[in-house]
A and B are shown apart, each in its own frame.
Chain A
Amino acid sequence: MIMQTQAHSGIAAAARSAAPAISVRNLRMGYGARVLLDGVSFDVWRGEIVVILGGSGSGKSSLMKSIIGLYEPMAGDIVIDGRSLVKASADEKAQLQRRLGVMYQSGALFGSLNVLENVRFPLDQFTDLTLEHKNLTARMLLHQVEMASAESLMPGELSGGMLKRAGIARAMALGCDILLLDEPSAGLDPITAANLDRTILAIRRNLGFTFIVVTHELQSIFAIADRAIMLDPVSRSIIAEGKPADLRDHSHDARVRQFFNRQPDALKRRAN
């Protein structure tokens, strides 16, 4: 193999641009009359890894599903690459959604397809590639997430970590450059979780992908996040935004310090 390289910016240059990859503007969302999030606004820039965190029931996963377009917001807007997801027609919305790769908490692999077929699925649906080329692409994706040896296994035969890694490979298959991951490290052993963090960082480094990661695993947050956005179930909005280490060490908000320092509630502490 011979490769001569030149020092132009390649993927990274194409990826850098002035407009944010995703912009959430004054979002209000909920279920029925119950408002879960109100007045939520933030931008995610290209190549950035943004972690959405908060306690259970703070609306992290719901926010992610709103960004994907699965939930209709009550008010506000979600803008992807300068185009509004909320105001888009059904076709435009489908096009915008194809720009996003999503890994759900359980991996959400199709049970009737093996791992290779699952990763190949988006390529089967949306490209004219030959089977050989689709298989090579899918195998390279599996190699990136260290799942090459599991390509012929069915989802039912995979562990939790393997399901999530295969889910990430499938999310990346269609050339999307924005990945949304819902609780990628939840329920994984420390080594598998660390491997997954390393995979996320490697994908960002090599491909310049933008990540929005919903998690409350502190070790993962410190390992991967450029910026953390913290939601609060009481105020139903963002209570902190910044680098995780800064939030932990310098936040003036007791709730933020409590979260990052894994402190129990004051009441419970007294009771104990």
Chain B
Amino acid sequence: MLTGTASVSGADGAASIRLPDRITAYTAAPVWQSALDTLARNPHRPIIVDASRLEYVDNVGTALLFDLIRRDRPAHSQVEVRNLAVNVAALVREFEPGDFVAPPPGRRPPGILEHLGQATAQQIAYAKQMVGFLRACAGAFRQALTRRSTVNWGDVLDIATEAGANAVPIVLLTGFLMGVIIAFEIGLVARNFGAVIFVVNGVGIAMLRELGVLMTAIVFAGRTGAAFAAQIGTQKVNEEVNAIATFGLDPVHFLVLPRLLAAMLVLPLLTVLADLIGLFGGALVLVTFDVGFLQFYHQLLGAVTAGDFVLGIVKAAVFGLMIAAVGCHRGLTTGAGATSVGLSTTSAVVTSIVLIVVIDGLFAVFTS
């Protein structure tokens, strides 16, 4: 590979740099570095850049030439480019050294306290925004209850199919494995105390009150909450949300309400499935601990109440509402560009999972 060569020569003691025949993006790095080294080594000598061999430069080569001649050096040690092709010279003359002066240093980086303040302000702004959004959702709900014909039930059904029916396999799998795991882990310990039959109580209460609904809600947040944020976020980026508003339609009523209704209806149904399959998984494991299906059934009836089941279903409806609201809100607050859609989606899932745990904790406190 040809590279620039440097030497000190001439009666005036000028240093010279001889450029190769081609300087391109792929070959410029060593030439550029070598030329700058020559300039640095000879701060008080004139520099002659010999471009007689230079036949081809691309944009990087042009940048190299410009970088050499823009250097601010004393009058007696200027850089002189010789034998440069006319059109290359014209190209370099398009630029002025002043065009690329380093921008003034930006604001100093914020300290910890400033960071903390900014984060707090952001959270407060988000909370205010969320309250406003929830108020709009409540208004849309009220309108839907009083004037049911204003709700697009076709959309609600489509969303319910996508969020509910298509999620059945994954919910069955996670629910079944949850029942199997609980029964197996508790069973191993309970066997030491001869209390295997009480594993049924553990599996029943855990599945109906907590794990069935929690696992389903987490899967729902990852699957449907993320999809809501991505769908509405993309619509926002494509200005579809603006188009809806321009038609005089309320985006909350048009886009959010069907999703809220679908999620609120579908998550309890998925939870019932998860509960049933989880109990079945537990019963299957307990067969290996010598607890038959009939024995499991009778023990279960004595261990759980309708209240446990209803609590799980109520929690599921609340989680469904919350997951849909968070997903839609994140979608509607998406900024510009594809990256924003990704951020909104991630944020929707993370926020939903945190809120699931918090709301579950509140339920535990108020229903115990």
Q: Which one of B30, B69, B100 has the greatest number of beta carbons of chain A within 10 Å?
A: B100
Looking at the complex, which one of A3, A127, A141, A207 makes contact with B89 (CB distance below 8 Å)?
A3
Asked if B156 is at the interface (CB within 8 A of a chain A CB), the reply is no
Query: How close is B241's CB to chain A, nearest CB, in angstroms?
Result: 15
Query: How close is B340's CB to chain A, nearest CB, in angstroms?
Result: 7
**B59 and A126 within 8 A (CB):** no
**B88 and A10 within 8 A (CB):** yes
Given A11-B87, A12-B87, A175-B25, CB of A4 within 8 Å of CB of B337 = no
Q: Which residues in A have their C-beta under 8 angstroms from that of B115?
A: none
A143, B66: Cα distance in complex, Å: 13
**A133 and B55 within 8 A (CB):** no
**A133 and B94 within 8 A (CB):** no
Q: Which residues in B have their C-beta under 8 angstroms from that of A55?
A: none
Given A12-B87, A206-B87, CB of A1 within 8 Å of CB of B26 = no
CB nearest to B64 among chain A residues = A133
Count of chain A to chain B residue pairs whose CB atoms are closer than 8 Å in the complex: 143
A174, B58: Cα distance in complex, Å: 8
Contact with B along A125-148 (1 / 0, CB 8 A): 011111001001101110110001
**B81 and A6 within 8 A (CB):** no
Looking at the complex, which one of A3, A140, A156 makes contact with B63 (CB distance below 8 Å)?
A140
Chain A interface residue bracket vs B: 35 or more
Count how many chain B residues have C-beta atoms less than 8 Å from C-beta atoms of the other chain: 52
Asked if B60 is at the interface (CB within 8 A of a chain A CB), the reply is yes
Q: Which residues of A (127-180) have their CB < 8 Å from a CB of B?
A: 127-130, 133, 136-137, 139-141, 143-144, 148, 154-157, 172-175, 177
Asked if A52 is at the interface (CB within 8 A of a chain B CB), the reply is no
Q: Which residues in A have their C-beta under 8 angstroms from that of B66?
A: 136, 140
Given A156-B337, A173-B25, CB of A129 within 8 Å of CB of B86 = no
**A133 and B67 within 8 A (CB):** yes
Q: Which residues in A have their C-beta under 8 angstroms from that of B60?
A: 123, 127, 129, 133, 137, 175
A206, B92: Cα distance in complex, Å: 10
Q: Which residues of B (335-353) have their CB < 8 Å from a CB of A?
A: 335-340
Q: Which residues in A have their C-beta under 8 angstroms from that of B30?
A: 128
**B29 and A128 within 8 A (CB):** yes
Given A156-B340, A173-B25, CB of A140 within 8 Å of CB of B55 = no
Q: Which residues in B have their C-beta under 8 angstroms from that of A133?
A: 28-29, 32, 60, 63-64, 67
Asked if A191 is at the interface (CB within 8 A of a chain B CB), the reply is no
Contact with B along A203-238 (1 / 0, CB 8 A): 000111000000000000000000000000000000
Given A127-B26, A133-B29, A206-B91, CB of A140 within 8 Å of CB of B100 = yes
Q: Which residues in A have their C-beta under 8 angstroms from that of B67?
A: 133, 136
**B338 and A111 within 8 A (CB):** yes
Asked if B84 is at the interface (CB within 8 A of a chain A CB), the reply is yes
CB nearest to A128 among chain B residues = B29
Query: How close is B51's CB to chain A, nearest CB, in angstroms?
Result: 8
Q: Which residues in A have their C-beta under 8 angstroms from that of B78?
A: 1-2
Q: Which residues in A have their C-beta under 8 angstroms from that of B336?
A: 154-157
Query: How close is A39's CB to chain B, nearest CB, in angstroms?
Result: 35
Asked if A112 is at the interface (CB within 8 A of a chain B CB), the reply is yes
Asked if A263 is at the interface (CB within 8 A of a chain B CB), the reply is no
Asked if B219 is at the interface (CB within 8 A of a chain A CB), the reply is no
**A2 and B339 within 8 A (CB):** no
Asked if B126 is at the interface (CB within 8 A of a chain A CB), the reply is no
- Interchain residue pairs with CB less than 8 A apart (6): A8-B55, A9-B85, A111-B339, A111-B340, A123-B60, A140-B95
Interface residues of A (CB under 8 A from B): 1-14, 111-112, 122-123, 126-130, 133, 136-137, 139-141, 143-144, 148, 154-157, 172-175, 177, 206-208
Nearest 10 A/B pairs, CB to CB: A10-B85, A156-B336, A175-B58, A111-B337, A156-B337, A111-B339, A128-B29, A175-B25, A137-B63, A14-B56
